[in-house]
């Protein structure tokens, strides 16, 4: 999966649009107990997420692969996508 859009929400959930048009939500809450994600308990730090396409990362150094996200996200819709040749 390649992440086309990434939007952090106030409830430690990421709204994600995959390159193939799937739209879903990924709850980061279970990861907050791990040391690497500890700083993300601060909402301002959580909101500083950036999209690397095949991964996401935060300023504090925490990151998640698109594969990890795809394995655990909740797909809620599929956006209309253009056919590619």
Residue spans of the domains in the chain: they are: 3-78
> What does residue 43 show for φ and ψ, rounded to 5 degrees?
-55, -40
pTM score: 0.87
Please give the pLDDT value at position 78. 83
Q: Is 56 exposed, middle or buried (0-12, 13-18, 19+ CB in 10 A)?
A: buried
CATH architecture, domain defined by 3-78: 2-Layer Sandwich (3.30)
pLDDT, residue 84, reads 44
Query: What is the pLDDT tens value at each position of the chain, 85 positions in all?
Result: 999 999 999 999 999 999 999 999 999 999 999 999 999 999 999 999 999 999 999 999 999 999 999 999 999 988 655 444 4
Q: Give the pLDDT score at 77.
A: 87
Residue 63: the pLDDT is 97
């Amino acid at each position: 999966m390649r992440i086309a859009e990434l939007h952090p929400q106030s409830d430690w959930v990421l709204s994600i649009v995959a390159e193939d048009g799937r739209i879903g939500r990924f709850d980061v809450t279970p990861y907050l107990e791990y040391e690497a994600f500890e700083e993300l308990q601060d909402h301002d730090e959580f909101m500083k997420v950036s999209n690397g396409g095949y991964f996401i990362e935060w300023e504090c150094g925490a990151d998640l692969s698109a594969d990890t996200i795809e394995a655990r996200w909740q797909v809620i819709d599929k956006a209309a996508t253009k056919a590619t040749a």
